[in-house]
A and B are shown apart, each in its own frame.
Chain A
Amino acid sequence: MRHSIAIVSLVLFVLSMALLLTLAKQAYIPRKEVRDLAKIYLNTTYNPWNKKFTAMSPEGVTAIVWDYRGLDTVFETAVFYLAIIGSIALARGIGKYSKPTSDEKKLGLSLIVKTVTRITTVSIIAVAVSIALHGHLTPGGGFQGGATAAVAPLLILIAFSQYFLLERGVSKDLMLVIRSLGLAGIGLTAIAAYFIGVAMNKYAFVLQNQAKPLSEVSIPAYIDGQLISGTLWFFNISEFFAVMAGFTIVLILLVIPERAFKSSGGEEK
């Protein structure tokens, strides 16, 4: 009986998807030529011959995220920051708690998993840093790199136990400091062009990257011949640290043992 229900629902799903695709094909046919909005982005995202209207970044997505609609992304980061603050507020009032045993080898998973984690953690962080630092050149960026880097502490927390991180100084407070520094970096990068404009006695916008027709101030797109796309590189680095530290805070809070809550008695210390 159960099998027949499963088969009937599978067949119904396939048939309805087929019907949907047939109808959708009749209703919407994409145009062959590139649409006008896409044309503008493709023509301006990296265009060194049109200095007044370019983001100087070959990676269109990063250029849109941090340049064309930069203010939007700053607010997104603020929302993420508030979510982290909320989770820290939930876990407030937890006193210090000690290790259950002094035997290091009994904590965490087996030796095989620990060895593999030692190898992969290093490569995960290397990949994450490259995703973040090349965010203006290849697909990726600060958030993606930070989210990838946060997998490394997650693996360590599970394979080695949380005391491994805490004993080596990777605590919630340190991560909060790193996170705040990253956010400060985003804020400073956002107003960098404005302060350059004040110093040069010219008009400049907040969140400005390259020169625009109304304001000639632009953050240098190259450092020593290497393309950094002005503000995008600094935004990506700051966002990388902010997101990596933010996710690590949540992961550290998630693995707090229940007895720590009980021993604090629900009262603030």
Chain B
Amino acid sequence: MYDILTYIGLIMIGVGAIADLLAAIGMNKFWNFYLRLHAATIGTIWGAFVPIIGASLVAIGYEALGPYRWFMAGAGFVTAFLILILAPAGSHALARATHRARIVKVEPCIADHIDESMCVKKGGNK
């Protein structure tokens, strides 16, 4: 029973490491601010929320810790929950403020339904 938890937790930590790598590549390769914000959120949800849940599961599975493993797992779950609700809110606030203040144009853009004038079509007015 506890072994299964440990393996699930280790898989989740591995997924987190891969997601962090992908998010780092995205941060370097993506074209504009909004897409890079998406990559950054991949790093916080898949690269922080998922591995923290995994670490909590590993802590529950590690019986040598005795009752203290519930404290570790509980702290991990609370931290993961806070990241889960704070990271999207933060990136949303950043993107919304940047878009409303018209600091960064959406480029290259296919459609911008909030504000068409922010949309810079590919090969357009460069």
Contact = CB atoms under 8 A, between A and B. Distances in A.
Most chain A CB within a 10 A radius of its CB, from B86, B89, B92 = B89
A110 B86 contact: no
Interface string B78-97: 00001001101100110011
A27 B75 CA distance: 41
Interface in A99-115: 109-110, 112-113, 115
A16 B97 CA distance: 42
Chain A interface extent, by class: 10 to 19
Contact of A120 (B85, B88, B96): B85
Contacts, number: 23
A117 B93 CA distance: 12
B83 to A, nearest CB: 11
Contacts of A112: 88-89, 92-93
Interface in B55-96: 82, 85-86, 88-89, 92-93, 96
Contacts of A115: 89
A119 B89 CA distance: 12
A120 B92 contact: no
Contacts of B97: 109
Interface residues of B, number: 9
A116 interface: yes
Nearest to B92: A112
Contacts of A117: 89
B82 A120 contact: yes
B96 A116 contact: no
A123 to B, nearest CB: 8
Interface in B20-49: none
B85 A113 contact: no
A35 B93 CA distance: 51
B85 A110 contact: no
Contacts of B92: 110, 112-113
B85 A109 contact: no
A120 B89 CA distance: 11
A173 B72 CA distance: 42
Contacts of A123: 82
A101 B22 CA distance: 45
Nearest to A123: B82
Given A115-B89, A116-B86, 6 more contacts: A109-B96, A110-B92, A110-B93, A120-B82, A120-B85, A120-B86
13 contacts: A109-B93, A109-B97, A110-B93, A112-B93, A113-B89, A113-B92, A113-B93, A115-B89, A116-B85, A116-B86, A116-B89, A120-B86, A123-B82
